[in-house]
Amino acid sequence: MPKKSPKPRLRVPRGIELLHDPLWNKGTAFTERERDALGLRGLLPPHVLTIEEQEQRVLANLRREPNDLERYVQLISLQDRNETLFYHVVMNHVEEMMPIIYTPTVGQACQQFGLLFRQTRGLYVSAHDRGRVARLLRNWPRRDVRAVVVTDGERILGLGDLGAFGMGIPIGKLSLYTACAGVHPAQCMPVMLDVGTENEALLRDPLYTGLCQRRLRGKAYDALVDEFVTAVHSRWPKALIQFEDFANVNAFRLLARYRKKICTFNDDIQGTAAVTLAGLYSALRITRQALRDQTILFLGAGEAGVGIGELIVSAMQEEGVPTDAARRRCWFVDSHGLVVKGRDNLAEHKLPFAHDHPFCADFLDAIRALKPTAIIGVSAMPKTFTRPVVEAMAELNERPIIFALSNPTSKAECTAEEAYTWSKGRAIYASGSPFPPCTYEGKTFVPGQGNNAYIFPGVGLGVIACEARHVSDRMFAEAAKALAAQVLDSDLAMGRVYPSLQRIQEVSAGIAAAVAACAYRENLARAKKPKDILEFIRSKMWRPQYRSYV
């Protein structure tokens, strides 16, 4: 019987090179043998620490910082030095760390990205790189990229055009791919597609790190995006490309252009839709009603709102509601008032939800006219769910569903405390960024966080694990169901319509399994179907543990 060939030895960097590589570096955790074998003797303090001891030092430093922005800087610096330790800390303290590495702090970090810049992370593809993007991608040091998050910075959260400073979003999103779903950090690539900015303050800012020019538009813009997508697909044919924080003018058409050609999705359209639908499923367990009987009014008719509307329509169709009737259950108010057929110059993505109805000039009038059971805020306009709005919803519904989903916290349509107080404790509330628990007349409510972090990491893991060729709408519907199914009765009892973040890795594994199962049913998976999909998914999840190098 022939001998098995020995496994090839990993090429481990040595000395200073090893200490400067965040994927290999263990810092003070290198053992005595490793220090001798890898040329580290004298380059580290002599005391060898365990990862648990390093974690305690990280936490002590973080918790004495005066604010979350300083804590963000500390954590990103740690990520740049030692990714294993970074993820060990984040995964063990996810409820404490997620608001720092993602919303709401990441929005403030993006606004100050030039001042906070320490070390480059991610790939920058600029308008000046047209014609050489494929060559540029060869500079990326990792060979097996499976998850790409790309933004052009035009619509960062609810903050608008932040240009190249928007790079904080792909970095943060991919941190959550790993922290929430165990996607290996070496397989993740954040990308800033820098095509300029219309932000006058940035164009005047001497510390701005991006192209100081007006945004590329039209055919030149499309050509650069197409060159980028083609180059990524050519070098890494199994990679998932997630479009993030593109403006409405580009988001819908880019998704339509590429969704049947490559493995891609738009998180603002599809991820937001899935997490919102999951929240509605959970809320309806409290009200004991069916989705098909709901009337839903949106404040905001951009990519997030319309994406949610389309997925709700699909879910209502599953419950036997005809398409036209399901659409008439979803209504939108934009910056000009109620979206109705009689209005001129409606954007194309709003037309399917433009119904025959008298025009209402403002949101409160629309509530009184339509009598919705749920209102969903995706407007990035803070304080628009006013006291009269919440009180009107409470008059119409015993348990009004109020989702104020705009990010960051400063953009939320109302706070959790406002929703509970103005509804006299009857609101079923969720927000995009976290709000603390609040007490009304002796009862403590824990508001749900309807954040895409519940959805996109699990979807990404499922797609990567089964090597899906495309990402279908059905996958997001299944992801919503899988998320809602993991909300416990104890969560609902305290007003929370999403699972505890402490369970996020378990939740993401369940979502990934549902997505992969859907891919196999739809014949979209390239990997061989395993006997037990959930166990297969779990086997693919990376854990932040130090390996031995000798």
pLDDT tens profile 303-347: 999 999 999 999 999 999 999 999 999 999 999 999 999 899 899
H/E stretch holding 296: strand 296-299
Pinpoint the alpha helices (H) of 246-327.
Answer: 248-258, 272-287, 303-318, 323-327
Same domain, residue pair 307 and 394: yes
pLDDT at 1: 43
- What CATH number does the domain containing 229 carry? 3.40.50.10380
Distance (Å, rounded) from C-alpha 178 to C-alpha 457? Answer: 8
Residue 6 has pLDDT above 50, yes or no: no
CATH number at residue 44: 1.20.1370.30
547 within some domain? no
Q: Is 347 exposed, middle or buried (0-12, 13-18, 19+ CB in 10 A)?
A: middle
**Which two structure tokens, joined as six digits, stand for 196?**
């300029």
Statement to judge: residues 55 and 130 lie in one domain: no
Nearest to 486 by CA among 464, 465, 509: 509
Collapse the DSSP code of 267 into the 3-class scheme (helix H, G, I; strand E, B; otherwise coil) and give the result. Answer: helix
Which of 106, 135, 162, 139 lies closest to 227, judged by CA?
Answer: 135
Q: Which ranges of 82-214 does DSSP label H, i.e. alpha helix?
A: 83-92, 94-101, 105-111, 113-116, 133-137, 168-181, 200-204
Return the half-sphere exposure (C-beta side, CA atoms, 13 A cut-off) of residue 423: 27
Other beta carbons within 10 angstroms of residue 481's beta carbon come to 18
**Domain identity same for 62 and 132:** no
8 has a pLDDT exceeding 50: no
Where is the domain boundary, 84, 99, 114?
Answer: 99
pLDDT in tens, 201-251: 999 998 899 999 999 999 999 999 999 999 999 999 999 999 999 999 999
Residues labelled catalytic: 102, 173
Residue 5 located in a structural domain: no
DSSP state of 344: S
Note whether 285 and 151 are same-domain residues: no
For residue 17, count other CB atoms closer than 10 A to its CB.
13
Element (H, E) at 188: strand 188-194
Look at residue 10 in the predicted model and tell me its pLDDT. Answer: 58
Residues 460 and 260: beta-carbon distance below 8 Å: no
257, 302: one domain: no
Q: Within the chain, what is the greatest distance between any pair of CA atoms?
A: 82
Per-residue pLDDT band for 79 (boundaries 50, 70, 90) equals very high
Tokens at residue 360, please?
Answer: 């209402």
* Same domain, residue pair 135 and 23: no
Choose among 223, 330, 189: nearest CA to 273: 330
Q: Is 284 helix (H, G, I), strand (E, B) or coil?
A: helix
Does residue 182 form part of some domain?
Answer: yes
Of 99, 128, 161, the domain-final residue: 99
* pLDDT number for residue 2: 45
Domain shared by 468 and 444, yes or no = no
Would the CA dihedral through 46, 47, 50, 52 be positive or negative? negative
Give the C-alpha separation, 125 to 57, whole Å: 37
Confirm if 220 and 129 have CB atoms less than 8 A apart: no
Count of domains forming the chain: 4
Handedness of CA 244, 245, 248, 250 (dihedral sign): negative
Instruction: Indicate the average pLDDT of the chain.
Output: 95
**Same domain, residue pair 224 and 347:** no
Q: How far apart are CA 30 and CA 47, in angstroms?
A: 10
Domain C-terminal end among 39, 67, 99? 99
Establish if 10 belongs to a structural domain.
Answer: no
For residue 330, give the 3-state DSSP assignment.
strand
Measured in whole angstroms, how far is the alpha carbon of residue 394 from the centre of its chain? 31
Rounded to the nearest 10 degrees, how much is the dihedral formed by the CA atoms of 21, 26, 32, 35? Answer: 10
Considering the entire predicted model, what is its pTM? 0.94
Report the pLDDT value the prediction gives residue 433, as an integer from 0 to 100: 87
Clarify whether residues 386 and 284 are in a common domain: yes
Q: What is the pLDDT of residues 365-374, one digit of tens each?
A: 999 999 999 9
Q: Is residue 280 part of a domain?
A: yes
Is residue 518 in a domain? yes
> Residue 8: inside a domain, yes or no?
no
528 with 447, same domain: the answer is no
Looking at the fold, whether 231 and 325 belong to one and the same domain comes out as no
**Structural domain for 323, as ranges:** 270-452
User: At 343, is the secondary structure helix, strand, or coil?
Assistant: coil
436 and 507 co-located in one domain: no
Q: What is the DSSP string of 394-452?
A: HHH-SS-EEEE--SSGGG-SS-HHHHHHHTTT--EEEESS----EEETTEEE--EE--G
In a domain? residue 7: no
- Does the pLDDT at position 258 exceed 60? yes
DSSP string, 345-396: S--GGGGGG-BSS---SSHHHHHHHH--SEEEE-S--TT-S-HHHHHHHHHH
- Distance between CA atoms of 401 and 529, rounded to whole angstroms? 40
The pLDDT of residue 267 is above 50: yes
